[in-house]
Amino acid sequence: MTGNHSSRADLSSLLGIDIEPALLELALTHRSFAYENGGVATNERLEFLGDSILGQAVTVMLFTEHPDLDEGELAKRRASLVSTVALAEIARHIGLGQYLRVGRGEELTGGRDKSSMLADTVEAIIGAAYLARGGDEATALVHRLIAPLLADPERFGATMDPKTSLQELSAHRNLGAPTYVIVDSGPDHLKRFQATVLLQDREIATGVGSSKKQAEVAAALDAWTQLSREAR
């Protein structure tokens, strides 16, 4: 799926910012698509730019809105909000996966829902917003994107530390301690890890990542989400 102009217009509307179609398309272009289509440009430079803008916007927001927090707590909250887990959560909230331009290999292996790919694309879109509309509107976009997490304290806590949050929730529900089963695939320089969370020998959720820790964190957040829904 390469996306079309109407779907990109839908995404611009969803984001609440007008980004030129060609620039937005670039922000959505993963290197796997570029590789399979004659080396077209990828979103990696935009991702580099967006990462910096995201970090600054979140830092200023936390500093301004939480005068009572010390440097250590501010750093912890910032790390949570700019983490792969949080950005992937944001991407899924707006349905970003359907708009990605990915290669056939990634398409077949569920690339549209990979946390790392979704998180990278969110950063690329923030970079594109900066180029299209400047710093103020890019910062406003960051605030809109992270608002759903900040509006849900329980969920924000879970994204800050998914493994601890899952452990606390499972203990509260007398389900015992979660265990993780890890499998890896791919060559050494491009390893992918999949973690499966077990509670009382029952498979609850899985997560993928470029490291064991990243996969476990993704799986823990998914498991926490499922258990939380069951409790409602």
Q: 168: annotated binding-site residue? A: no
Q: 230: annotated binding-site residue? A: no
Burial 147-160 (b: 16+ CB within 10 A, else e): eebeeeeebbbbbb
Give yes or no for a contact between 210 and 191, defined as CB atoms under 8 angstroms apart: yes
Q: 36: annotated binding-site residue? A: no
Q: Of 99, 100, 123, nearest to 32 (Cα)?
A: 100
Catalytic residue among 25, 51, 106, 222: 51
Q: Alpha-carbon distance 140 to 68, whole Å?
A: 23
Give yes or no for a contact between 50 and 130, defined as CB atoms under 8 angstroms apart: yes
pLDDT value for 214: 85
pLDDT value for 109: 79
pLDDT value for 2: 44
Torsion on CA atoms 155, 127, 214, 85, rounded to nearest 10 = 10
pLDDT tens per residue, the chain (232 residues)?
444 444 777 898 889 999 999 999 999 999 999 999 987 999 999 999 999 999 999 999 999 999 999 999 899 889 888 988 889 889 988 999 999 999 998 888 777 888 889 999 999 999 999 999 999 999 999 999 999 888 877 777 787 789 999 999 999 999 999 999 999 988 877 788 999 999 998 999 998 888 898 889 989 988 998 888 776 5
pLDDT value for 54: 97
Catalytic residue among 89, 106, 123, 216: 123
Active site residue 123: yes
In degrees rounded to 5, what are phi and psi of residue 115?
Answer: -55, -45
pLDDT value for 231: 61
